Amino acid sequence: MDLSTTYLGLKLKSPFIASSSPLSQRVEDIRKLEDAGAGAVVMFSIFEEQIRHDAEALDHLLTAGSESFAEALSYFPDVGDYAVGTEKYIELLRSAVAAVKIPIIGSINGISPEGWTDYARRIEAAGAAAIELNAYYIATDPAMSGAAVEDMYLEVVRTVKSAVRIPVAMKLSPFFSSTANMAKRLAEAGADGLVLFNRFYQPDFDLDEMEVLSDLNLSAPSEMRLPLRWIAILHGRVPCSLAATTGVHSGRDAAKYLLAGADAVMTCSALLKNGIGHMRVMRDELQSWMESKEYGSLEEMKGAMSQRAVANPAAFERANYIKILEEYKSKYVLT
Protein backbone atom coordinates (compact mmCIF):
# COMPACT_ATOMS: atom_id res chain seq x y z
CA MET A 1 0.00 0.00 0.00
CA ASP A 2 1.53 3.31 -1.12
CA LEU A 3 0.38 6.08 1.22
CA SER A 4 2.88 8.62 -0.07
CA THR A 5 1.76 11.92 -1.54
CA THR A 6 3.21 15.16 -2.84
CA TYR A 7 2.30 18.43 -1.13
CA LEU A 8 3.93 21.78 -1.98
CA GLY A 9 6.37 19.80 -4.08
CA LEU A 10 7.45 17.88 -0.97
CA LYS A 11 7.32 14.08 -1.03
CA LEU A 12 5.48 12.91 2.09
CA LYS A 13 5.40 9.32 3.35
CA SER A 14 1.82 9.85 4.54
CA PRO A 15 -0.99 12.32 3.70
CA PHE A 16 -1.53 13.09 7.41
CA ILE A 17 -0.01 16.39 8.52
CA ALA A 18 -0.09 17.55 12.11
CA SER A 19 -1.47 21.05 11.74
CA SER A 20 -0.35 24.09 13.70
CA SER A 21 -1.01 23.38 17.39
CA PRO A 22 0.61 23.16 20.84
CA LEU A 23 1.78 19.64 19.91
CA SER A 24 4.73 21.20 18.07
CA GLN A 25 6.02 23.13 21.08
CA ARG A 26 8.35 20.31 22.14
CA VAL A 27 10.84 18.41 20.00
CA GLU A 28 9.97 15.13 21.74
CA ASP A 29 6.32 15.49 20.68
CA ILE A 30 7.36 16.19 17.10
CA ARG A 31 9.39 12.96 17.20
CA LYS A 32 6.31 11.11 18.47
CA LEU A 33 4.24 12.54 15.60
CA GLU A 34 6.79 11.25 13.12
CA ASP A 35 6.78 7.81 14.76
CA ALA A 36 2.95 7.75 14.69
CA GLY A 37 2.92 8.23 10.92
CA ALA A 38 2.74 11.97 10.31
CA GLY A 39 3.95 12.92 6.84
CA ALA A 40 4.87 16.44 8.00
CA VAL A 41 4.40 18.78 10.94
CA VAL A 42 3.29 22.42 10.81
CA MET A 43 4.84 24.35 13.69
CA PHE A 44 2.61 26.35 16.01
CA SER A 45 2.21 29.87 14.65
CA ILE A 46 4.40 32.80 15.48
CA PHE A 47 2.09 35.79 15.54
CA GLU A 48 2.58 39.01 13.63
CA GLU A 49 2.07 40.88 16.90
CA GLN A 50 4.95 38.93 18.48
CA ILE A 51 7.27 39.75 15.59
CA ARG A 52 6.43 43.44 15.82
CA HIS A 53 6.66 43.52 19.62
CA ASP A 54 10.04 41.83 19.69
CA ALA A 55 11.39 44.08 16.94
CA GLU A 56 10.24 47.19 18.82
CA ALA A 57 11.64 45.88 22.10
CA LEU A 58 15.02 45.16 20.53
CA ASP A 59 15.07 48.60 18.90
CA HIS A 60 14.37 50.20 22.28
CA LEU A 61 17.06 48.05 23.88
CA LEU A 62 19.65 49.22 21.38
CA THR A 63 18.81 52.94 21.34
CA ALA A 64 17.34 53.95 24.72
CA GLY A 65 19.58 56.42 26.51
CA SER A 66 22.10 56.75 23.71
CA GLU A 67 21.12 60.38 23.12
CA SER A 68 22.06 61.37 26.68
CA PHE A 69 24.81 59.51 28.51
CA ALA A 70 26.77 56.77 26.81
CA GLU A 71 27.25 54.98 30.13
CA ALA A 72 23.46 54.50 30.25
CA LEU A 73 23.87 51.76 27.67
CA SER A 74 25.72 49.66 30.24
CA TYR A 75 22.44 49.09 32.08
CA PHE A 76 21.12 46.99 29.23
CA PRO A 77 22.11 43.36 28.53
CA ASP A 78 24.17 42.43 25.50
CA VAL A 79 22.21 41.84 22.32
CA GLY A 80 23.33 38.21 22.32
CA ASP A 81 21.69 37.67 25.71
CA TYR A 82 18.34 39.11 24.67
CA ALA A 83 16.21 35.96 24.20
CA VAL A 84 12.98 37.22 22.65
CA GLY A 85 10.01 34.97 21.82
CA THR A 86 10.72 34.98 18.11
CA GLU A 87 14.29 33.85 18.79
CA LYS A 88 13.06 30.88 20.78
CA TYR A 89 10.73 29.95 17.92
CA ILE A 90 13.64 29.86 15.48
CA GLU A 91 15.73 27.79 17.90
CA LEU A 92 12.90 25.29 18.36
CA LEU A 93 12.34 25.09 14.61
CA ARG A 94 16.02 24.44 13.99
CA SER A 95 16.07 21.71 16.66
CA ALA A 96 12.96 20.05 15.23
CA VAL A 97 14.41 19.98 11.72
CA ALA A 98 17.55 18.30 13.05
CA ALA A 99 15.58 15.77 15.11
CA VAL A 100 13.28 14.26 12.47
CA LYS A 101 13.30 13.19 8.82
CA ILE A 102 9.84 14.44 7.87
CA PRO A 103 9.36 18.02 6.59
CA ILE A 104 8.84 20.73 9.20
CA ILE A 105 6.70 23.65 8.01
CA GLY A 106 7.00 27.05 9.67
CA SER A 107 3.86 29.05 10.37
CA ILE A 108 3.23 32.80 10.59
CA ASN A 109 -0.15 34.07 11.79
CA GLY A 110 -1.21 37.54 10.72
CA ILE A 111 -2.31 39.49 7.65
CA SER A 112 -0.15 42.55 6.89
CA PRO A 113 3.06 42.00 4.90
CA GLU A 114 5.16 44.46 6.94
CA GLY A 115 7.88 42.82 8.96
CA TRP A 116 7.30 39.35 7.56
CA THR A 117 10.01 39.38 4.91
CA ASP A 118 12.98 39.14 7.26
CA TYR A 119 11.29 36.61 9.53
CA ALA A 120 10.27 34.42 6.60
CA ARG A 121 13.93 34.34 5.56
CA ARG A 122 14.92 33.32 9.08
CA ILE A 123 12.39 30.48 9.06
CA GLU A 124 13.88 29.32 5.77
CA ALA A 125 17.43 29.60 7.11
CA ALA A 126 16.46 27.51 10.16
CA GLY A 127 15.72 24.61 7.80
CA ALA A 128 11.95 24.75 7.35
CA ALA A 129 10.79 22.85 4.27
CA ALA A 130 7.98 25.36 3.65
CA ILE A 131 6.06 28.22 5.22
CA GLU A 132 2.34 28.30 5.98
CA LEU A 133 0.74 31.73 6.12
CA ASN A 134 -2.04 31.32 8.65
CA ALA A 135 -4.02 34.42 7.71
CA TYR A 136 -6.53 35.44 10.36
CA TYR A 137 -8.27 38.71 9.59
CA ILE A 138 -11.71 39.91 10.61
CA ALA A 139 -12.84 42.83 8.43
CA THR A 140 -14.81 44.85 10.99
CA ASP A 141 -14.51 48.23 9.27
CA PRO A 142 -17.71 48.90 7.26
CA ALA A 143 -15.70 51.16 4.96
CA MET A 144 -13.36 48.35 3.93
CA SER A 145 -14.42 46.61 0.73
CA GLY A 146 -14.12 42.94 -0.07
CA ALA A 147 -11.67 43.82 -2.84
CA ALA A 148 -9.42 45.56 -0.31
CA VAL A 149 -9.40 42.45 1.90
CA GLU A 150 -8.51 40.26 -1.08
CA ASP A 151 -5.67 42.60 -2.03
CA MET A 152 -4.22 42.25 1.48
CA TYR A 153 -4.06 38.47 1.13
CA LEU A 154 -2.50 38.70 -2.32
CA GLU A 155 0.12 41.21 -1.17
CA VAL A 156 1.12 38.98 1.74
CA VAL A 157 1.72 36.06 -0.62
CA ARG A 158 3.72 38.18 -3.06
CA THR A 159 5.83 39.69 -0.28
CA VAL A 160 6.74 36.39 1.36
CA LYS A 161 7.34 34.62 -1.96
CA SER A 162 9.76 37.37 -2.96
CA ALA A 163 11.72 36.79 0.23
CA VAL A 164 12.17 32.99 0.23
CA ARG A 165 12.85 30.10 -2.10
CA ILE A 166 10.97 27.42 -0.17
CA PRO A 167 7.27 26.70 -0.93
CA VAL A 168 4.62 28.95 0.60
CA ALA A 169 1.06 27.88 1.44
CA MET A 170 -1.84 30.16 2.33
CA LYS A 171 -4.36 29.01 4.93
CA LEU A 172 -7.63 30.55 3.77
CA SER A 173 -10.85 31.62 5.40
CA PRO A 174 -14.13 30.44 3.80
CA PHE A 175 -15.63 33.93 3.70
CA PHE A 176 -14.58 35.26 0.30
CA SER A 177 -17.42 36.22 -2.02
CA SER A 178 -15.84 34.16 -4.81
CA THR A 179 -13.69 31.42 -3.28
CA ALA A 180 -12.80 29.85 -6.63
CA ASN A 181 -11.60 33.14 -8.10
CA MET A 182 -9.62 33.99 -4.97
CA ALA A 183 -7.94 30.59 -5.04
CA LYS A 184 -6.95 31.18 -8.67
CA ARG A 185 -5.57 34.65 -7.91
CA LEU A 186 -3.57 33.40 -4.92
CA ALA A 187 -1.99 30.71 -7.10
CA GLU A 188 -1.17 33.36 -9.71
CA ALA A 189 0.37 35.52 -6.95
CA GLY A 190 2.76 32.67 -6.17
CA ALA A 191 1.06 30.48 -3.55
CA ASP A 192 2.37 26.93 -3.89
CA GLY A 193 -0.56 25.54 -1.90
CA LEU A 194 -3.88 26.40 -0.28
CA VAL A 195 -5.11 25.09 3.06
CA LEU A 196 -8.91 24.99 3.31
CA PHE A 197 -10.10 26.37 5.71
CA ASN A 198 -8.89 28.44 8.62
CA ARG A 199 -11.20 27.82 11.56
CA PHE A 200 -12.02 31.15 13.18
CA TYR A 201 -12.66 31.15 16.90
CA GLN A 202 -16.08 32.64 17.61
CA PRO A 203 -17.00 34.52 20.81
CA ASP A 204 -19.83 33.53 23.13
CA PHE A 205 -21.69 35.38 25.90
CA ASP A 206 -21.75 34.51 29.58
CA LEU A 207 -25.28 35.56 30.54
CA ASP A 208 -24.59 35.28 34.27
CA GLU A 209 -21.42 37.36 34.36
CA MET A 210 -22.42 39.52 31.36
CA GLU A 211 -19.05 38.98 29.75
CA VAL A 212 -17.80 38.01 26.31
CA LEU A 213 -16.23 34.55 26.41
CA SER A 214 -13.24 33.56 24.33
CA ASP A 215 -12.72 29.83 24.49
CA LEU A 216 -11.61 27.03 22.21
CA ASN A 217 -13.96 24.35 20.92
CA LEU A 218 -12.30 21.44 19.17
CA SER A 219 -13.56 20.59 15.70
CA ALA A 220 -16.01 17.80 14.88
CA PRO A 221 -16.30 15.63 11.73
CA SER A 222 -19.55 17.42 10.86
CA GLU A 223 -17.48 20.53 10.09
CA MET A 224 -15.86 18.79 7.11
CA ARG A 225 -18.62 19.58 4.66
CA LEU A 226 -17.63 23.14 3.73
CA PRO A 227 -13.94 22.43 2.98
CA LEU A 228 -14.92 19.09 1.41
CA ARG A 229 -17.13 20.88 -1.10
CA TRP A 230 -14.53 23.47 -2.04
CA ILE A 231 -11.67 21.02 -2.39
CA ALA A 232 -13.86 18.94 -4.71
CA ILE A 233 -14.64 22.08 -6.74
CA LEU A 234 -11.05 23.37 -6.90
CA HIS A 235 -9.32 20.06 -7.65
CA GLY A 236 -7.76 20.25 -11.10
CA ARG A 237 -8.74 23.89 -11.53
CA VAL A 238 -5.98 25.71 -9.64
CA PRO A 239 -2.28 25.11 -10.31
CA CYS A 240 -1.25 24.49 -6.69
CA SER A 241 -1.46 21.92 -3.94
CA LEU A 242 -4.61 21.57 -1.84
CA ALA A 243 -4.59 20.61 1.82
CA ALA A 244 -7.73 19.91 3.82
CA THR A 245 -8.14 20.89 7.44
CA THR A 246 -11.02 20.81 9.94
CA GLY A 247 -12.90 17.73 11.11
CA VAL A 248 -10.31 15.01 10.39
CA HIS A 249 -10.89 12.56 13.25
CA SER A 250 -10.62 9.20 11.47
CA GLY A 251 -9.13 7.47 8.47
CA ARG A 252 -12.52 7.58 6.76
CA ASP A 253 -12.61 11.36 7.20
CA ALA A 254 -9.22 11.54 5.49
CA ALA A 255 -10.46 9.28 2.68
CA LYS A 256 -13.29 11.71 1.92
CA TYR A 257 -10.91 14.64 1.59
CA LEU A 258 -8.52 12.65 -0.59
CA LEU A 259 -11.33 11.49 -2.86
CA ALA A 260 -12.39 15.13 -3.19
CA GLY A 261 -8.90 15.98 -4.44
CA ALA A 262 -6.81 16.97 -1.41
CA ASP A 263 -3.08 16.27 -1.63
CA ALA A 264 -2.83 16.11 2.16
CA VAL A 265 -5.06 16.25 5.23
CA MET A 266 -4.26 18.21 8.37
CA THR A 267 -5.42 17.23 11.82
CA CYS A 268 -5.20 18.84 15.23
CA SER A 269 -8.35 18.43 17.34
CA ALA A 270 -8.35 14.63 17.05
CA LEU A 271 -4.78 14.51 18.38
CA LEU A 272 -5.47 16.95 21.20
CA LYS A 273 -8.51 14.89 22.18
CA ASN A 274 -7.13 11.36 21.74
CA GLY A 275 -3.37 11.78 21.97
CA ILE A 276 -0.57 11.69 19.43
CA GLY A 277 -0.95 7.92 18.98
CA HIS A 278 -4.31 8.54 17.30
CA MET A 279 -2.36 9.56 14.21
CA ARG A 280 -1.41 5.90 13.76
CA VAL A 281 -5.03 4.81 14.26
CA MET A 282 -6.21 7.15 11.50
CA ARG A 283 -3.47 6.02 9.15
CA ASP A 284 -4.34 2.35 9.69
CA GLU A 285 -8.06 3.08 9.18
CA LEU A 286 -7.31 4.81 5.89
CA GLN A 287 -5.16 1.91 4.72
CA SER A 288 -7.85 -0.64 5.64
CA TRP A 289 -10.50 1.33 3.77
CA MET A 290 -8.26 1.62 0.70
CA GLU A 291 -7.66 -2.13 0.75
CA SER A 292 -11.43 -2.77 0.93
CA LYS A 293 -11.87 -0.64 -2.21
CA GLU A 294 -8.82 -2.18 -3.90
CA TYR A 295 -6.84 1.04 -4.10
CA GLY A 296 -3.12 0.44 -4.25
CA SER A 297 -2.02 4.04 -3.76
CA LEU A 298 -3.26 7.49 -2.86
CA GLU A 299 -2.67 8.66 -6.41
CA GLU A 300 -5.26 6.16 -7.66
CA MET A 301 -7.99 7.58 -5.44
CA LYS A 302 -7.06 11.27 -5.29
CA GLY A 303 -9.79 13.37 -6.89
CA ALA A 304 -11.97 10.39 -7.78
CA MET A 305 -14.99 12.19 -6.32
CA SER A 306 -14.08 15.76 -7.29
CA GLN A 307 -16.59 17.85 -9.18
CA ARG A 308 -14.80 17.15 -12.46
CA ALA A 309 -14.88 13.39 -11.89
CA VAL A 310 -18.35 12.55 -10.57
CA ALA A 311 -21.36 11.72 -12.73
CA ASN A 312 -23.42 14.49 -11.12
CA PRO A 313 -21.24 17.62 -10.81
CA ALA A 314 -24.33 19.66 -9.88
CA ALA A 315 -24.20 17.89 -6.50
CA PHE A 316 -21.73 20.58 -5.45
CA GLU A 317 -23.84 23.52 -6.68
CA ARG A 318 -27.20 25.24 -6.24
CA ALA A 319 -29.17 22.63 -8.18
CA ASN A 320 -28.52 20.06 -5.48
CA TYR A 321 -29.55 22.54 -2.78
CA ILE A 322 -32.98 22.84 -4.38
CA LYS A 323 -33.23 19.07 -4.80
CA ILE A 324 -32.41 18.41 -1.12
CA LEU A 325 -35.03 20.85 0.13
CA GLU A 326 -37.71 19.45 -2.17
CA GLU A 327 -36.98 15.89 -1.03
CA TYR A 328 -37.08 17.00 2.62
CA LYS A 329 -40.44 18.72 2.14
CA SER A 330 -41.98 15.73 0.36
CA LYS A 331 -40.72 13.36 3.08
CA TYR A 332 -42.12 15.33 6.01
CA VAL A 333 -45.20 17.00 4.49
CA LEU A 334 -48.31 16.65 6.63
CA THR A 335 -51.14 14.64 5.06
- Which of helix, strand or coil describes residue 225? helix
State residue 180's pLDDT score. 95
State residue 52's pLDDT score. 65
* pLDDT range class, residue 81, cuts 50, 70, 90: very low
Structural domain count, the chain: 1
Domain carrying residue 175: 5-304
User: Vertex 141, ends 138 and 142: CA angle to 5°?
Assistant: 120
324 lies in some domain = no
Question: Mean of the per-residue pLDDT values for the chain?
Answer: 85
The reply to whether omega before 200 is within 30° of 0 (cis) is no
Tens of pLDDT along 231-252? 999 999 999 999 999 999 999 9
CATH number, residue 214: 3.20.20.70
pLDDT at 198 over 80: yes
State residue 313's pLDDT score. 78
Backbone angles phi, psi at 40, to 5 degrees: -165, 165
In whole angstroms, how far apart are CA 250 and each of 42, 77, 196, 269, 282?
Answer: 19, 50, 18, 11, 5
State residue 255's pLDDT score. 98
314 lies in some domain = no
Residues in Cβ contact with 65 at an 8 Å cutoff, skipping those fewer than 6 apart: 72, 73, 75, 76
Tens of pLDDT along 137-169? 778 899 999 999 999 999 999 999 999 999 999
The pTM (predicted TM-score) of the whole model is: 0.84
Tens of pLDDT along 273-329? 999 999 999 999 999 999 999 999 999 999 999 998 887 777 777 656 566 566 655
User: Which residue did the predictor score with more confidence, 72 or 305?
Assistant: 305
71 lies in some domain = yes
d(CA 143, CA 159): 25
